[in-house]
Structure 1
Amino acid sequence: MARYLRHHSRRGRNNRTVRIGRAMSSYFEKLDTTGSVMLVQLWKVWGDLMGEMAPLARPLGHRGTKLILAAEDPMIMQEAQFLAPMILEKVNGYFQQEVFDKVVFELLNGRVPLDGEIRPEAPEPPRKLKKPEKLGGLEKELDPDSPIGRCYRAYRRMFDKS
């Protein structure tokens, strides 16, 4: 169901009805002085814009006129440096103006990129604990109700299960 808003212009106060989505988008564009709305559009089309390179250099953000991209691997990051002029050309071409003048690459290091794609990682296999040779014998020396005594009992139970 479409929602509508009655819009009054300042000069002559013309009454006209506009869709609320259209009115809100123009309202938010006026509030956006840093160009963030424009950047959100870029992040949404990042995969289509960059093509095969999109998974290698993923958007992290910007600092002023520097575009910050992330790579998962130092080798990929080094190679992507050579493609920075091409990336700048494509991004600025998308905006049809020079928004960025430099591309900076950083390692992803577990951060979530702004294109919203979180790559599934293989779950870590459960580690097999090696039982210490001299485990046990401290129960008589430790107070069983103390935090250290309870912790020691829990530690022993880890090896009793295997």
Structure 2
Amino acid sequence: MAYRRTTDRPGRRRKTQRVGEALPTLLRGLDRAGGRDLVRLWRAWDELLGDVAGMARPLGHRGGRLVLAADDPIVMQEAQFLGPMILERVNGFLGKEVFDKVVFELLNGRVPLDGEIRPEAPEPPRKLKKPEKLGSLNGKLDPDSPVGRCYRAYQRMFDDS
């Protein structure tokens, strides 16, 4: 059996549109989960939260929970008190109440969704100064004891450099 395909469907427009005019409507129809709005949120994170943005980086969401990351436990504890303010700004930016709770997690090497990794300044390598009398205890320590083995390892650390 052959099916006849017709172009006269109800609700179909007959005039042609420019791609730039038709594309936003098409994308809005495809984005039922609101992902486009979240991408806008992640990109505007620094401007939206100002100084707080450095403390709380976006990691994602789980249902109605906004998951944010902190670099260390103390910052995470302090950022908990800013949760209501963060929710107010984020939901205001989105124009509706999308999130009802803020959850903080430690960053632990993960990359936040705003795509910015904010590494701390690397510590300069410490140059150890060799003690003047290093090796003078070799005859006094039992070489098979844990203290003797540690002392020899400490000596090798300066021999290698």
TM range (shorter): 0.5 to 0.7
Greater Rg, structure 1 or structure 2? 2
Which one scores higher on RCO, CA 8 angstroms, separation ≥ 6?
A: 2
For residues 50-94 of structure 1, the C-alpha deviation after alignment (integer angstroms, 9 at most, x for no partner) is 011011011000001000000001101001111101111111111
| 1:18 corresponds to 2:26 | no
For 1:73 and 1:120, how far apart are their aligned partners in 2? 13
Identity %: 62
For 2:70 and 2:97, how far apart are their aligned partners in 1? 24
Worse-superposed segment, 9-18 or 115-124: 9-18
Structure-2-length-normalised TM-score: 0.66
- Structure 2: runs of 5+ lacking an equivalent: 1-8, 128-157
For residues 90-111 of structure 1, the C-alpha deviation after alignment (integer angstroms, 9 at most, x for no partner) is 1111122111000000001111
In the superposition, relative to structure 1, how do residues 24 and 62 fare at CA in structure 2: closer, same or farther (>3 Å)? same
Residues 66-85 of structure 1: pairs in structure 2 closer than 5 A: 66-85=65-84
For 2:42 and 2:10, how far apart are their aligned partners in 1? 36
Partner residue, 1:5: none
SS at match of 1:17: coil
| 1:41 corresponds to 2:45 | no
Tell me the amino acid that sits aligned with residue 33 of structure 2: T
Partner residue, 2:110: 111
- Structure 1: runs of 5+ lacking an equivalent: 1-8, 129-158
4+ residue runs over 4 A deviation: 123-128, 159-162
How many residue pairs align between the two structures? 125
For 1:83 and 1:123, how far apart are their aligned partners in 2? 29
